[in-house]
């Protein structure tokens, strides 16, 4: 099996995966369109379904969900196959170089091709890692705020319980000593 055959096979596999991804995107888009059409139809047309109470969080999560954006399509149609092709080709060159000395004679051409594919692939990987770091920072900040809110809530609850106990003890002390409120004249 030659290098051209392997690259052709990798290209066919990536093209097939791209077609599958495109089909998934089209199916997702048609489902959204049909669900929006059902919402806009009069209630008589829509079949009666079992009505169940929904929690607020279910409605919020549906409102917060985003559709498929151009960036999502770009990442799955171009960026992901490019990175996979780069990694696959580099691995193939290393494997072939260890098995066949003729590959080592043409290593400059292979490394040039790896470098050409690697430039955009490394930028894509760097951007993906930056997005991941940002998400992790947001999660960390959220959990810090959430933890502080729990601490504040527990502190306030503890102070309230102490105040209630203090007032109960004062009332009990007044009852035991027979002290009452002064009468109005």
Tens of pLDDT, residue by residue over 69-114, are 676 677 777 778 888 888 888 888 888 887 888 877 888 888 888 8
User: Does the pTM of the predicted model rise above 0.75?
Assistant: no
Contact 124, 83 (CB under 8 A): yes
Question: Which pLDDT value is given to residue 65?
Answer: 53
Let me know if residue 122 belongs to a domain.
yes
- Write down the mean pLDDT value for the chain: 78
Are 125 and 86 within 8 A, CB to CB? no
> Hey, how many other C-beta atoms are within 10 angstroms of the C-beta on 107?
12
The answer to whether residue 47 sits within a structural domain is no
Q: How many domains does the chain have?
A: 1
- Residue 127 inside a domain? The answer is yes
Q: Would you say residue 177 lies in a domain?
A: no
Q: Containing domain of residue 83, as a range? A: 3-15+25-39+67-132
**What are the phi and psi torsion angles at 68 (to 5°)?**
-75, 125
Question: In this structure, are residues 152 and 114 in contact, taking their beta carbons and an 8 Å threshold?
Answer: no
Contact 62, 39 (CB under 8 A): no
Decide if 89 is inside a domain. yes
Question: 160 lies in a domain?
Answer: no
């Amino acid at each position: 099996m030659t290098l051209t055959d392997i690259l052709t096979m990798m290209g066919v596999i990536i093209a097939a995966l791209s077609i599958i991804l495109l089909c998934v995107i089209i199916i997702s888009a048609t489902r959204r369109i049909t669900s929006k059409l059902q919402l806009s139809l009069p209630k008589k047309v829509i079949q009666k379904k079992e009505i169940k109470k929904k929690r607020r969080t279910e409605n919020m999560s549906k409102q917060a969900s985003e559709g498929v954006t151009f960036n999502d399509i770009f990442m799955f149609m171009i960026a992901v196959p490019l990175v996979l092709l780069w990694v696959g080709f580099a691995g193939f060159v290393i494997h072939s170089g260890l098995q066949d000395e003729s590959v080592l004679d043409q290593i400059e051409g292979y490394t040039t091709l790896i470098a050409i594919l690697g430039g955009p692939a490394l930028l894509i990987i760097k951007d993906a890692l930056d997005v991941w770091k940002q998400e992790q920072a947001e999660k960390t900040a959220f959990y810090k705020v959430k933890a502080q809110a729990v601490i504040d809530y527990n502190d306030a609850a503890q102070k309230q319980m102490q105040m209630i106990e203090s007032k109960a003890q004062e009332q009990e002390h007044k009852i035991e000593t027979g002290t009452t409120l002064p009468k109005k004249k």
